[in-house]
Structures are given as C-alpha cells and as structure tokens.
C-alpha cells in the first residue's frame, strides 16, 4: 500500500471522526439529563467518544469536506456540526424546562416561594413542586426508553442532515417558534388545574372574610393553600404522570419533525 495514500486515508478518518465527535458533543452539552450541569465534563467526554466510535462506521463522509480538512471550510463544518448538536439537545431540553416552569408556577401560587433555592444544574431558582415534576419527568425519560430515542435521533440525523449541511432557514425558524409556543403551552397546561383550584380557594376566603370580618383570614390562607395543593397533587398524581408521558412523546415528535428542516 502506498504510504502517502495510507496517510491520506488516516487523515480523512480522523477528520470525519472529528466532525462526528463535535455533533455528538454538542448534544451532550445541551441535552436533558446528561447536559448542562447534570453530568461532569469527564463523563460527557467519555460518553461522546464512545458514541462517536459506534456511529463513525455508519456515517457517510463528504469527500469535499475531507479534501479541505486543513482549511477554513473544515473549521466552518466543525462549527456547523457543534451548532447542530446543540440545537438537537436544546429542543429536547425545552420540554424539561416547560415542566419545571409549570411546577414552579404551581408552587409560587400555593405559597412555596419561600422554599425556592438556587439549582446549580439549571442555574435558576427552583421550588419543590417544580423539582418534583422535573424528577418525575427524568424518571419517565429512562422508564419509557426516551434516551434510546435520543440516540436513535442522533443516528438518524446523519442521514437527514449530512456532515457540514446544517443551515438555519425560514422553515426551521418558524418551526422553532412553534416549538417554543408548545413549551409555554405545556407549562400552562400542567399548572392550570391546580391554579384554578387555588383561585377558587382564594375566592372562598374572600367571601368568608367579607361575611365574617372577625376572622383573620391571613392566619389561615397560607396553610389552606399549601394543604389544598398537597391534597390535589396526591389525588392528581396519576393524571400528572400520564401528562408527563405525553410531553415526552411530543418532544420526540417535535425533534423528528425539526431534523429534516436543518439540512441545507
């Protein structure tokens, strides 16, 4: 075998592996459960390397990009692959933030604002109700094998969006806006039943305060709302789990619809 041809083949393999590596790394930087501050950087690096080694033999590598492995085009291709990985992870993580948003909205309405604390994983203030729903969604993420869907979507992305082909067009921007709207709707739909119940409690307290002014309603209002929230969360937990399962299905379908729009 010609030594020069062998070196060229090795160079192409390394360059192709770098392109695959940065896309996988982008996903592990932004995806839920493994992204952000959930996992140490060493763990993310090892997982990225392992997934890259598995996917590399199945990925079609554009020879035009490999021919410019030392040029600006290759650097831009690396940037595009990393941006695509971040986009895939970001779209999935949006739904996890939506669930936390709905839970925190419930907690603040119920009077749990004093129990909020800084969450180093999400880098925001979060309350106990939001944390509960978020942890439930993480458990469902593994119980329903959605993490397998994440890896399957990653493998499919190389067929739908070839290496170096990621672009942001008007269709992707429109679909991203629709996905963001869905996220807001998910959070509001999760919080709406309990917020309506707490508003009914507030209205009842107002009627009592007007009918019996001798009662100091402020002494009982916080305890009443907290107790009502706890009871409703306990009674409605099966329905909430079913709703969270539907959220994961929506996240998977949204991601699979967005992937074809990312190709130029």
Calculate mean pLDDT across residues 150-168.
76
Could you report the per-residue pLDDT of 44-100, keeping only the tens digit for each?
Answer: 888 888 888 888 777 766 655 555 555 677 778 788 888 888 888 888 888 888 888
Rounded Cα distance, 81 and 162, in Å = 9
Which residues have a Cβ under 8 Å from the Cβ of 85 and sit 6 or more positions away? 22, 23, 24, 25, 26, 27, 28, 29, 30
**What is the per-residue pLDDT for 200?**
87
Tell me, yes or no, if the pTM score tops 0.75: yes
Calculate mean pLDDT across residues 102-125.
72
**What is the per-residue pLDDT for 204?**
85
Instruction: Give residue 117's Cα distance to chain centre.
Output: 21
Strand ranges for the chain from DSSP E = 117-119, 124-126
pLDDT greater than 50 at residue 1 = no
Angle 54-43-244 from CA coordinates, rounded to 5°: 85
**What is the per-residue pLDDT for 8?**
47
pLDDT greater than 60 at residue 3 = no
DSSP conformation class of 114: G
Calculate mean pLDDT across residues 104-122.
72
- Burial of 221 per CB tally in 10 Å (0-12, 13-18, 19+): middle
Rounded Cα distance, 114 and 112, in Å = 5
Among residues 53, 79, 51, 80, which one has the least CA distance to residue 153? 51
């Amino acid at each position: 075998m010609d030594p020069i041809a062998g070196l060229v083949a090795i160079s192409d393999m390394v360059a192709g592996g770098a392109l695959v590596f940065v896309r996988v790394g982008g996903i592990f930087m932004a995806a839920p459960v493994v992204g952000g501050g959930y996992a140490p950087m060493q763990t993310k690096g090892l997982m990225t390397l392992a997934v890259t080694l598995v996917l590399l033999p199945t990925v079609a590598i554009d020879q035009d990009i490999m021919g410019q492995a030392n040029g600006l085009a290759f650097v831009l291709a690396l940037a595009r692959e990393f941006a695509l990985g971040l986009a895939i992870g970001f779209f999935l993580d949006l739904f996890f933030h939506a669930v936390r948003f709905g839970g925190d909205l419930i907690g603040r309405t119920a009077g749990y604002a004093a129990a909020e604390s800084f969450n180093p994983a999400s880098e925001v203030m979060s309350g106990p109700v939001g944390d509960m729903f978020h942890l439930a969604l993480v458990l469902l993420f593994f119980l329903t094998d959605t993490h397998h869907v994440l890896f399957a979507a990653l493998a499919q992305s190389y067929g739908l969006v070839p290496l170096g082909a990621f672009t942001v067009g008007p269709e992707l921007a429109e679909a991203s806006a629709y996905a963001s709207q869905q996220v807001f709707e998910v959070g509001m739909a999760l919080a709406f039943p309990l917020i309506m119940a707490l508003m009914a409690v507030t209205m009842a307290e107002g009627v009592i305060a007007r009918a019996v002014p001798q009662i100091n309603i402020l002494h009982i209002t916080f305890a009443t709302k907290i107790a009502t929230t706890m009871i409703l969360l306990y009674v409605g937990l099966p329905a909430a789990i079913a709703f969270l399962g539907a959220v994961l299905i929506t996240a998977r379908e949204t991601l699979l619809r967005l992937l074809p729009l990312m190709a130029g």
